[in-house]
Structure 1
């Protein structure tokens, strides 16, 4: 904060002149004359006026102009004047939320609620934080409390629909979202969430209608453009949606996130019409903009993967004597992103004894939060450094969590690709779990990754061709280590073989999972099971080979990637 306060000189009261300037500042703020408002607030702070709202309003102005550190300092100081001041608590909560420190943000919102139990906004913000840390039931409860306080709180209804979708309660989610749209047919958030829900269920026509409604209401809502592009087949550059996206893309002062999403969507459109040079131009720009938002270097992943290989070796694992979880329920589907994990899960989930759970974070969170810490530089320690109960509980808690997902099927698939990092831990604590490894041609796999604007920040290597090639080499080294450590216990599914000989490869896959053959597994694309990943559209199509060898269309642009892959 730029204006320092000398507490020994604090004025116990505010003069009439200061009160008049304070009122003028508030009026200027209301009229969005932010320059005048800030000048007046700063005068009052310089005079040591101890009114918390002065600090919170100036903090708000700082936050609005991205001066986050000063905003944080001002809101923090306001709490020294009035420890329960709502605006300051909300402001600090919002900063923590912005910084993705959702646990700390939740603590601030709880403090607001403790003093103001009818504060609907605090409940909604708390709901958002709970969703981000995976506490979906708590998120739903907080959202419902916001609605109990303010039944017409449309933002809370919109968010409740999103949380219910994440939880998989699609029937109730659809009811909530339709209820929002009956009250406000122009709610783009409800339309977008409903469109995504319909897409996950394979109802692409109705999903398209939802996205198209968004275009007419709020054409700058770029998420809808991006998602629509995935399920739409473009035939020429005069497609109305291409023209609409280009008009949005060319707007001055376009929001960075919007520009990134439009770049990826336009790349998809131009690839469809086989204009690969223009497609790559948009791909390269979208990836460069996204990569520029990270401070990523391959060294961190190199160190982590080398640490995994060192710690989870055959001798160390065999020396650990723990009471393992004997369940055969989980089937882990691992590999690089975009390597066919969704396709393999869709095939398996067609079997009557298998529940497709999608990309679960459960095991990865249990394994990393339980075994990595700041004191170990977030690297694994030798296995004998961990208490037996710590290791045993990872398997036990994981099985408890996935059992709650279904009461009908005997097996549950978990297709989080990055569980490939924890294969050693999986086999240590869940020795009877099946591991299915999806393998795809390195060049096609990396190009497919480069074409995807992921919704999480988990794949930072994905947005730079050199880093992508470097990471793929690390992945290859890691999987070779797992095959040596657990010979015969990891089943490789080769994407190209699956595409060219589906019946033979599907029969082998079903057998590898210890399942009896069911003819329906060949008709996986007709299944009504929900698919929430980026491949929701592709896996509902019959087997196709158009993506095999696609990298060659972009070969002249891929030198940084190809140079790295050639080092393998």
Structure 2
């Protein structure tokens, strides 16, 4: 470099080299103004001087001006003799900006210039991690760990990549090593919590996340991970509390808003969930996750085209588009586009053969023969994945596949293990559940119902379709929703929420006034009316509303309740062989399932005795399968609706179906599910023992 002197100053003999040395010294000492002044004096003489531009870029970055920092670094990196370090720093700044393609280019140039620059390999590894190029990311970060085995951050970064790869035990080892090296490393502690969630160790995950928060009360990811642990334990209130704590100090945190939207969705607070998801997208428009959760909520609210657009946007953003692509295929399945859904899942699996959710959903779209190679592929995947929830999903998927293939022994080995694993994630007192149902029956006695008869809301818009899960509720909803005067809204949690908000429920319900009942009706209709889309009736197909039939009668005395019945063992078998996306805790143990069925049966016997047959309408699944038209005509007559032939072609009706029966209701009536349990009786002994005791 020529020894040019700087423009006139108190030290007019200072050369460019002197100025840069002093600027570096000021920068290292945290004296930013002095460093910046010297760099600007250098640039006045040499406008493209890369060292001065680099220091100015670092100063701008420190001051929070990322765009200016990137501008300086880009100009510095135009120098033909640019140091690899400058390219590495540019790569990191571009990553922070979300310009991952530019970041990757700069990082690759850096390691090509200086293969020994460990920082450049670390930056490249993290960039590739965020771009979803995980195998190469791991290779880069392994080089960093090999060069810096005592660096806690190196182990943490490598663990993050292994976690995304599904190599969970490798990830755990590196997180633990990071924490051995730095016990106060809050970020590694939070990341460990996320990993423990994947491993199904939810209590340990919550403990790790709380420790991370203690170490750094403003570490946002720790709050999200703690909320995730609570959601996995089905403690939605606690999950929401922790997300709210995060948003109290970081109200525009995209990940926190996305987590809150998911929780509100699970709580069936759909308007709030949608508004929160839109806020998440506005806060983090370049986040694939925020667009993905927006798509899921739009789909849940029947905005199918908008949901597909949101999934498309999520898939176009850097990172891991696989979740959005899988959700898009699932949305197509719910919308009845089965061929397109199957093609979507196939495309995901072709590019991401370890994506378990796509395998699990795809199972419902095909029937398997014994020699189907997909069975072996799923069996192999099961032995190589460490993710707890993925293992559960694969057991249920393989159970269905083996059952299709006539291999009941293998099928129930998978069903039993999948149910055992799922049952281990929560506490359930089945006897307490039975006592609660008996308390409901005692509370909503004939006299109590007569005392408040007719005082509720006069609307007959709601039609409640209820019963045990897998008893034919989706079929009845689809038949009725094929009528031009009826719209199916799916499974709504609104009535359950109204009941839960009543002090001392169920006993407290008998103390309600007519005005209070009508107000409850208004709250319910505020949720239901927007779903009507101009139809006279809207179906709430929440099976568990069988617990609230008495309250429904008080709140909506004109509303019809349709109770779906099916053979007890067929119903329980269908429950046991299904991994539910919603909370059906009683279905994961055969003996508990049998006891719950008996308690359900006792309660619905009570409703039959105290509710008028004109408004408590019972329909048997087997009768519908045997005589679709006759049963459909009786149902429509009971609802005071004229006959419509569309009800016989229910499988052609275009609407979103989000229940476990989404594929079945797209098919014409078939009789193969009647008496299905007899072929599998030897696998159902704990269930049969409970049901038989009730008749002995």
How big is the shift at 1:473? 1.1
Say which SS state the counterpart of residue 86 (structure 1) adopts.
Answer: coil
Gap change, CA 1:70 and 1:159, over 3 Å in 2 = closer
Aligned residue among 216, 223, 244 for 2:350: 216
Alpha-carbon distance in 2 for matches of 1:190, 1:128: 15
Aligned residue among 589, 592, 595 for 1:470: 595
Question: Are 1:363 and 1:394, in contact at CA under 8 Å, matched by a contact in 2?
Answer: no
1:517 aligns with 2:648: no
Bigger mean CA deviation after superposition, 401-410 or 149-158: 149-158
Question: Are 1:56 and 1:78, in contact at CA under 8 Å, matched by a contact in 2?
Answer: no
The aligned runs of 1:60-71 (5 Å cut-off) are 61=192, 64=195, 67-68=204-205, 70-71=207-208
Alpha-carbon distance in 2 for matches of 1:307, 1:521: 38
Say which SS state the counterpart of residue 99 (structure 1) adopts.
Answer: helix
Aligned residue among 225, 230, 254 for 1:94: 225
CA displacement, residues 4-54 of structure 1 (integer Å, 9 cap, x when unaligned): xxxxxxxxxxxxxxxxxxx96556545655445423544xx7xxxxxxxx5
How big is the shift at 1:125? 3.0
Aligned to 2:382: 249
TM-score of the aligned structures, taking structure 1 as reference length: 0.85
CA displacement, residues 490-549 of structure 1 (integer Å, 9 cap, x when unaligned): 111111111111111111111111111112211111111221111111111111101111
Alpha-carbon distance in 2 for matches of 1:242, 1:69: 35
How big is the shift at 1:211? 0.9
Alpha-carbon distance in 1 for matches of 2:626, 2:157: 65
Alpha-carbon distance in 2 for matches of 1:166, 1:77: 36
Alpha-carbon distance in 2 for matches of 1:523, 1:30: 55
Alpha-carbon distance in 1 for matches of 2:456, 2:251: 45
Bigger mean CA deviation after superposition, 147-156 or 64-73: 64-73
Alpha-carbon distance in 1 for matches of 2:341, 2:649: 23
Gap change, CA 1:554 and 1:38, over 3 Å in 2 = same
How big is the shift at 1:131? 2.6
Gap change, CA 1:417 and 1:125, over 3 Å in 2 = closer
Aligned residue among 415, 429, 453 for 1:297: 429
Which has the larger Rg? Answer: 2
The aligned runs of 1:290-439 (5 Å cut-off) are 290-320=422-452, 323-372=455-504, 380-381=506-507, 383-386=509-512, 389-439=515-565
Gap change, CA 1:292 and 1:538, over 3 Å in 2 = same
1:146 aligns with 2:272: no
How big is the shift at 1:216? 2.0
Aligned to 1:285: 417
CA displacement, residues 473-500 of structure 1 (integer Å, 9 cap, x when unaligned): 1111111100110142311111111111
Q: Which gives a bigger RCO, structure 1 or 2 (Cα 8 Å, sep 6+)?
A: 1
Gap change, CA 1:417 and 1:244, over 3 Å in 2 = same
Question: Are 2:268 and 2:492, in contact at CA under 8 Å, matched by a contact in 1?
Answer: no
Bigger mean CA deviation after superposition, 66-75 or 444-453: 66-75
1:485 aligns with 2:610: yes
Alpha-carbon distance in 1 for matches of 2:281, 2:389: 30
Say which SS state the counterpart of residue 409 (structure 1) adopts.
Answer: coil
Alpha-carbon distance in 1 for matches of 2:618, 2:221: 50
How big is the shift at 1:402? 0.9
Gap change, CA 1:419 and 1:57, over 3 Å in 2 = same
How big is the shift at 1:135? 3.2
Aligned to 1:166: 300
Question: Are 1:41 and 1:58, in contact at CA under 8 Å, matched by a contact in 2?
Answer: no
How big is the shift at 1:228? 0.8
Gap change, CA 1:37 and 1:465, over 3 Å in 2 = closer
1:268 aligns with 2:268: no
Question: Are 1:351 and 1:521, in contact at CA under 8 Å, matched by a contact in 2?
Answer: yes
Structure 1 residues not aligned, in runs of 5+ = 1-22, 46-53, 80-84, 373-378
How big is the shift at 1:159? 1.7
How big is the shift at 1:452? 0.9
Alpha-carbon distance in 2 for matches of 1:528, 1:116: 42
Aligned to 1:4: none
Question: Are 2:465 and 2:541, in contact at CA under 8 Å, matched by a contact in 1?
Answer: yes
1:450 aligns with 2:576: yes
Question: Are 1:90 and 1:109, in contact at CA under 8 Å, matched by a contact in 2?
Answer: no
Alpha-carbon distance in 1 for matches of 2:242, 2:616: 46
Alpha-carbon distance in 2 for matches of 1:464, 1:36: 39
Say which SS state the counterpart of residue 231 (structure 1) adopts.
Answer: coil
Cα RMSD (Å) of the superposition? 2.7
TM-score of the aligned structures, taking structure 2 as reference length: 0.70
Question: Are 2:462 and 2:560, in contact at CA under 8 Å, matched by a contact in 1?
Answer: yes
Alpha-carbon distance in 1 for matches of 2:550, 2:288: 46
Aligned to 2:291: 157
1:38 aligns with 2:179: yes
Alpha-carbon distance in 1 for matches of 2:251, 2:544: 41
Alpha-carbon distance in 2 for matches of 1:286, 1:107: 30
The aligned runs of 1:70-85 (5 Å cut-off) are 70-71=207-208, 73-75=210-212, 77-78=214-215, 85=217
1:132 aligns with 2:273: no
Question: Are 1:355 and 1:411, in contact at CA under 8 Å, matched by a contact in 2?
Answer: yes
The aligned runs of 1:527-546 (5 Å cut-off) are 527-546=653-672
CA displacement, residues 365-409 of structure 1 (integer Å, 9 cap, x when unaligned): 11222244xxxxxx5225444455443322221123211212411
Gap change, CA 1:385 and 1:505, over 3 Å in 2 = closer
Question: Are 2:444 and 2:510, in contact at CA under 8 Å, matched by a contact in 1?
Answer: no
Structure 2 residues not aligned, in runs of 5+ = 1-149, 160-173
Bigger mean CA deviation after superposition, 268-277 or 168-177: 268-277
Alpha-carbon distance in 2 for matches of 1:548, 1:229: 22
Aligned to 2:586: 461
Alpha-carbon distance in 1 for matches of 2:660, 2:248: 40
Alpha-carbon distance in 1 for matches of 2:210, 2:658: 40
Gap change, CA 1:93 and 1:484, over 3 Å in 2 = same
Aligned to 2:372: 239
